Amino acid sequence: MIFLIDYDRTRGKLESILSFDDAQRDEAEDARLQKELTLHRQGITREIVLLQAADEAALRETHRRYFEDIGTLAETDALAATR
């Protein structure tokens, strides 16, 4: 699956996530470009990315920063460092 992520870095907040089948890569790329252009016209700066993963659960595991708040990430990283 392909996931289109709209992430606000300054707020550490996931704004939206859309999923596409692997066969819809062109549509996913078009959607990414349209999202970036729309936000740019509005003067909004956000991180817009396409990521590929087997499913959303795998994506949430490999790209935690898009789904967890800063405090949770810091706590998890601090615990991992002590192990």
Grouping H, G, I as helix, E, B as strand and the rest as coil, residue 50 is strand
Number of domains in the chain: 1
Q: What's the rounded Cα separation, in Å, for the pair 44 and 15?
A: 12
What pTM, to 2 d.p., does this model score? 0.81
Residue 73 has a CB neighbour count (10 Å cut-off) of 14
pLDDT of residue 33: 98
Q: How far apart are CA 50 and CA 32, in angstroms?
A: 7
Domain range for 17 is 2-82
Condensed to tens digits (0 to 9), the pLDDT of residues 61-72 reads 999 889 886 555
Q: Beta strand pairing status for 47-52 and 2-8?
A: antiparallel
Each residue's pLDDT tens digit, 8-35: 988 888 999 999 999 999 999 999 999 9
